[in-house]
Structure 1
Amino acid sequence: MLDTKYLLTDEQMIHFITKGYLVLTNDLPEQLHRRVMDKIYYVLHEEGNPGNNILPRVPEIQQFFDTPTVKGALTSVLGPDYYMHPHRHCHYNRPGSQTPGGGQWHKDGYWSSMRSHRPWWAMIFYYTQDITEEMGPTAIMPGTQYYEKFLGDRGETLLPTGKAGTMVLVHFDLWHKASLNVSEFDRYMLKFQFTRLREPENASWNHQSPDFPVPDGLPAQHPNLWQDVWEWLRAAVPESAKKEQPVQSPQELGELVSEASETDALNASYTLGRMGKEGIAELAALLSAGTHLTAERAAYGLQAAGSEAVPALLELLAHQDERRRGLAAFVLGMIGPGASLSVQQLIERLQDGSSWVRRNAVEALGMIREPVEQVVPALTEALLNSLQEETNDAPQAGSMYVSQQSYIKNKIGYTAALSLLRTGKDGDPKQVVQALEQALSSGDRYVRAYAAEALSHLRTEEAIDVLVRYCRTSRWCSDTSKASTF
């Protein structure tokens, strides 16, 4: 069992919520870091970057993520049953290898149908050697995780440094980039991604006080957005309204949601989400009839409204525009178990003509979870249908993501497998195992990875048998390379 002293403090959690990162250090032997670096050097120069196979190729890396420091930090942010995502990468920065100024500022490609302000996902940048600014550590821009647009010169650039074992835990959507290595040394950074499997049921860190003191040095103030994340992580009942009423009316705040300034727009959206019925009505109208950008911003405000917003969202599930239907499904998923009354309508959306709407409905069902006797059969059917489409080589007509997230080939199957990882253990084991066994033959590598992990979560005799047979044929031999003799 994890010693609670390794869990984060309130101050660290508030820093993560507002600034989007934490710098931590693993206390591990220098020899281990050196051994890993030597192996990585060999692999990169003799075989090329192994990408997702970096862990089985250099299995000692797993020791970095099994320490109480890492487990305590990830448990605090993502809950005790977080999952290491199958996408991993070793970033190799040679001396002078980057263009002047380093790489381009960016957010990583995301894995859900939409980015979430709430921490369903996180990343760790792990350094295997002492890292200085001259060696080109990954640059981050604190406080930018909630912005779709890059802040440019208005943002602060930070280059985290430290001893071997230094790691930067970041909100998945934090803006970051490679920086220029002006030293004489190679720089290695391991990027691993993690996802939470269920919404918080209690505060999973060393939580002491419900207060939320805002730290200094932030590029912008988002009190209601931060409060929403804080209350959600604490599993607290969200406040429907502040004691002091906002100066603006719902209509005036609604106009701000459409403003070019993301700071003003997000503040207005989350303020409306905490105003009760009047705020919900304004946000629902914006989601229904506003521009696409305005509708997305309104969706974030509606998630902050919680279960009170469910009736309005059920109406939006029937909207004639696929984007609005999909956003309504997304918000219902973000509301979680409090949106259980929407399960039947979400199941009906699995027959929607838009694959983006279907995908949002699949993800929402996995987050709402209950009633499991309805949710799990619907998810297994969605998974099997997506696999059939792979077999038929049928395009996912109507999808708004035809050219996006190309790294996910079967987007609905991927999402259904992830949702079954979150819920399958509570369903009919035989039904779930049969679907997951077929998913192990998917043409999408991430569908296969989620299916294998879901089988390991089930722990039934049949699930273990399927998983063992799969592992026998998919085993990776880390000693086999172009240089090996047999």
Structure 2
Amino acid sequence: MSDPAFLSADQARRFVADGFIVIQSGLQLPTHARIDTELRELFRGQGTLALADNVLPSVPSLNQILEAPAVRGAVASVLGPDFAWAPHRFPHNSEPAPQTEPIDAFADQPEMGAGSISGSGWHQDGHYRGGRCRWHTFRAANVFYFPRDTPIEMGPTRLLAGSHLYANLNCAQRAQAAFRPLPAGTAIVADFDLGHAGSPNRTDKARYMVKFVALRTNGRQAMEGAGEWQTPVGLASVDDTPNAWRSIWNWQRGASRHHGIDPASNMNGTIAALGSAHAHARLESIYRLSATEAAVRPLLAALRGTAGQGRHKSPDPGSAAYRSRGPNPAERRFSFHQFVPEDATVALAAMGEPALTALVELTEDDDPWMRMNAAWALGDGSLTGQTVHAALSRLLADGDVNVVRVTLDALCANPAFGEATVRQIATLLQSERPEWCVPAPAEPRVGTTWRARDQVRFLCAWALTNRATLGDPSPELERALTNALADDTDYVPAVACEGLGRVGTASALRAAFDYLQRRR
């Protein structure tokens, strides 16, 4: 396999600000033509939902896209070279819709052709079935691959530049809409939280795109050779948020989050701007406060002001609030689709050490919403050490399953935990709790029978996999992943196989091989 072709420093900075980068996969045109032909034949026989996560074994040539140096290099530049491909990979079809009116780049839910799976409404993805947290630091990426030339009239994917840092899309602007023709073999690497949408296909031939999901596994794996932040020229994003971009860039390159950040000079005004409906004001406030030690108490007060409102309970899957699109743009809620923390929490997490004591104390608050936010902040990666992981370990025994779920995702993001936590996670992987057997549809539109218990186990498997990535995995960790192969979902064993591969012992590899051999 050829060495990955990493992004240039300018491309990596553009990704920080815009939330996406468009690259060519670098393979020959006949390869893309063969993939397109095979997808068309399969769709005629099975359709999207039948193919779904089985698209890779159904179209083996797609593996060449994942192995292409340009694709691997772009993803590794964003998520670190130890990234993993998630078991979710989904083919999106846009069937002909012969309306004659021009395609509006910013339209929300234009009519699609009958049988299209591509959603034309602006949305931020939730992790299929799993349901996870949103992060400003890069934890996951979508790779949208187009096997054939896709002109505007064929309906390429539309993107909202800069929206990966938004808690919701209520403040999206027309000028953010990125909508361009895509040559055959194009791959769009986008932060998982970037707003995007399908678009109508005005031709007489179906359009196919395959989405892959990549995940960071190594906590904070610094980008090598990255210099200081410099705002690129000609960004697609309309938000000028240099303090937010610089803080995230600092995290990417392993530097102090506060380096070069302008501290808040007007504390009350900056705190008030956290609730702004304008993304620029909100993001700049978060990161200026994160560089201001005196902001700990005001931020904690702002966070505590959201307690007692039942925000830890997931809204109805049919409601706008389920996808963070409720009428109040400042309101954050837990949902099985995606957990979005309070802005004050994001600032406290980026602040790091000065906020540690307050965050640990918050893990013992009576309100589950406070405990969720504290867990998220401790997992963000700006804080490490025994105190952090001891607090997260305690939350694994929380009586609220939603707190446990957020805590596990925090451990996925900050996986340098010890053996006691490994044992707790191993127990959770096997536990049966009737109160956790409630439906948890992360993506209701495509259907799922998953329960909260299954989401917990899914995150357990990823937490152990990420811990194995750091090296020196224990026999207990290997046993836990081996036992997870017997789980009654398809995703948990798939993640366990990834983890066993990273454990790397003969017995771990044998267990993964035997599982996969029976299912080839």
Q: TM-score if structure 1 supplies the norm length?
A: 0.88
Query: Out of 503, 511, 518, which is 1:458 matched to?
Result: 503
Q: What is the match of residue 176 of structure 1? A: 196
Is 2:285 aligned against 1:239? Answer: no
How many correspondences in the alignment? 461
What is aligned with 1:211?
Answer: 229
Aligned to 2:369: 323
Q: Deviations over 1:339-369 (max 9, x none)?
A: 5412222212111111111122223234333
Match of 1:229 among 245, 248, 253: 248
Distance 2:494 2:203 in 1: 38
Deviations 1:104-129 (A, max 9, x none): 11111235532111110001111101
| Counterpart amino acid of residue 186 in structure 2 | T
Q: Residue 338 of structure 1 aligns to a residue in which SS?
A: coil
Aligned position for 2:281: 264
Deviation at 1:63, TM superposition (A): 0.4
Determine if contact 1:222/1:267 at 8 Å carries over to the other structure.
yes
Matched, 1:105 2:150: no
Match of 1:23 in 2: 22
Match for residue 305 of structure 2?
Answer: 289
Q: Structure 1: state its 5+ residue gaps.
A: 476-486
Among 404, 412, 423, the residue aligned to 1:377: 423
Give the Å deviation of 1:321. Answer: 0.6
- Equivalent residue for 1:361, pick from 407, 418, 431: 407
Q: Give 1:77 deviation, angstroms.
A: 0.5
CA RMSD of aligned residues (A): 2.5
- Given the alignment, which residue of 350, 375, 396 partners 2:436? 396
Structure 1 pair 225–403 and aligned structure 2 pair: CA distance change class (3 A): same
**C-alpha contact (below 8 Å) 1:414/1:447 kept by paired residues:** yes
d(CA) in 1 for partners of 2:222, 2:361: 31
Paired with 1:366 and 1:150, the residues of 2 have a C-alpha distance of 29
Q: Which residue of 2 aligns with 1:7?
A: 6
Per-residue deviation, 1:189: 0.7
Deviation at 1:445, TM superposition (A): 2.1
Q: What is the SS of the residue equivalent to 1:335?
A: coil
Aligned equivalent of 2:456, options 384, 392, 412: 412
Give 3-state SS (helix, strand or coil) of 1:237's partner.
Answer: coil
Q: 2:179 aligns with which of 159, 165, 170?
A: 159
Q: How far is 1:101 from its partner? A: 5.7
Aligned 8 A contact 1:340 1:370 in 2: no
Secondary structure at 1:267 match in 2 = helix
Q: Sort the Cα spacing of 1:339 and 1:264 in 2 relative to 1 into closer, same or farther, 3 A.
A: farther
For residue 142 of structure 2, the aligned residue among 123, 131, 136 is 123
* AA aligned opposite 1:273: S
Q: CA distance change for structure 1 residues 211 and 464 in 2, over 3 Å: closer, same or farther?
A: closer
In 2, the alpha carbon distance for the partners of 1:405 and 1:307 equals 36
* Structure-2 change in CA distance of 1:365 and 1:259 (3 Å): same
Q: 1:300 — aligned with what?
A: 346
Structure 2 counterpart SS, 1:413: helix
Do residues 468 (structure 1) and 513 (structure 2) align? Answer: yes
CA contact (8 A) 1:199 1:336 kept: no
Q: Find the residue that maps to 1:201 and give its secondary structure.
A: coil
For 2:472 and 2:26, locate their aligned partners in 1 and report how far apart those are by CA, in whole Å: 41
Give the counterpart of 2:221 among 201, 209, 231: 201
Q: CA deviation at 1:160?
A: 3.2
Structure 1 residues 41, 245: CA separation in 2 closer, same or farther (over 3 Å shift)? closer
Report the structure, 1 or 2, having the larger helix content. 1
Match of 1:143 among 150, 162, 165: 162
Structure-1 separation of matches of 2:347 and 2:213 = 27
Cα offset, 1:230, TM superposition? 0.3
* C-alpha spacing 1:35/1:241, structure 2 compared with 1 (3 Å): closer
Mapped to 2, the partners of 1:404 and 1:71 lie a distance apart of 27
CA contact (8 A) 2:156 2:179 kept: yes
Q: Which moved more, 1:108-117 or 1:83-92?
A: 108-117
* Aligned-pair CA distance for 1:33: 1.4
CA contact 2:161–2:177 (8 Å) conserved in 1:
yes
Q: 1:418 & 1:427 partners in 2: Cα distance? A: 16
- The residue number in structure 1 matching 2:358 is 312
Work out the CA distance in 2 between the residues paired with 1:402 and 1:130.
Answer: 38
Of 267, 271, 274 in structure 1, the residue corresponding to residue 291 of structure 2 is: 274
Question: Does structure 2 conserve the Cα–Cα contact (< 8 Å) formed by 1:339 and 1:368?
Answer: no
Q: State the match for 2:269 in structure 1.
A: 252
CA distance in 1, matches of 2:474, 2:376: 27
> What secondary structure, in the 3-state scheme, does the structure 1 residue paired with 2:189 have?
strand
C-alpha distance in structure 2 between counterparts of 1:380 and 1:339, whole Å: 21
List gaps (5 residues or longer) in structure 2: 100-108, 113-119, 312-330, 333-340
Please tell me whether the aligned partners of residues 83 and 197 of structure 1 are also in contact (alpha carbons under 8 angstroms).
yes
Gap change, CA 1:346 and 1:241, over 3 Å in 2 = same
- Other structure's SS at 1:344 match: helix
CA contact (8 A) 1:2 1:72 kept: no
Aligned-residue offset at 1:100: 4.3
Q: Tell me which residue corresponds to 1:481.
A: none
1:151-183 alpha-carbon deviations (Å, 9 max, x no partner): 354443222323211111111111111111112
One-letter amino acid of the structure 1 residue matched with residue 17 of structure 2:
T
The yes-or-no answer on 1:433 pairing with 2:451 is no
Going from structure 1 to structure 2, the CA distance change for 1:335 and 1:308 (only over 3 Å counts) comes to: farther
| Partner of residue 209 from structure 2, selected from 183, 189, 201 | 189
Alpha-carbon shift at residue 403 of structure 1 (Å): 5.7
Structure 1 residue 20, shift from structure 2 partner: 1.1
Deviates more, 1:174-183 or 1:213-222: 213-222
Determine what percentage of the aligned residue pairs are the same residue: 27
Shift of 1:198: 1.6
The runs of at least 4 consecutive aligned structure 1 residues that moved more than 6 Å come to none
d(CA) in 1 for partners of 2:161 and 2:349? Answer: 24
Q: More deviation in 167-176 or 436-445?
A: 436-445
Quick one: distance in 1 between partners of 2:473 and 2:62?
36
CA distance, structure 1, for counterparts of residue 43 and residue 473 of structure 2: 45
Cα shift at 1:76: 0.4
The 2-side partners of 1:20 and 1:416 are apart by: 28
Q: Could you state the TM-score of these two structures normalised by the residue count of structure 2?
A: 0.82
For the 8 Å contact 2:163–2:172, the answer to whether it is kept is no
Deviations 1:190-211 (A, max 9, x none): 111110102333214x53x213
Distance of aligned partners of 1:135 and 1:299 in 2 relative to their CA distance in 1, 3 Å threshold: same
Distance (Å, rounded) in 1 between the aligned partners of 2:239 and 2:145: 28
Contact 1:142-1:157 at 8 Å conserved across structures: yes
Distance 1:355 1:170 in 2: 30
Q: Are 1:332 and 1:339, in contact at CA under 8 Å, matched by a contact in 2?
A: no
| Amino acid aligned to 1:342 | V
Change (3 A) 1:448 1:91: same
Contact 2:122 2:195 in 1 (8 A): yes
The letter of the residue matching 1:170 is A
Distance 1:366 1:183 in 2: 43
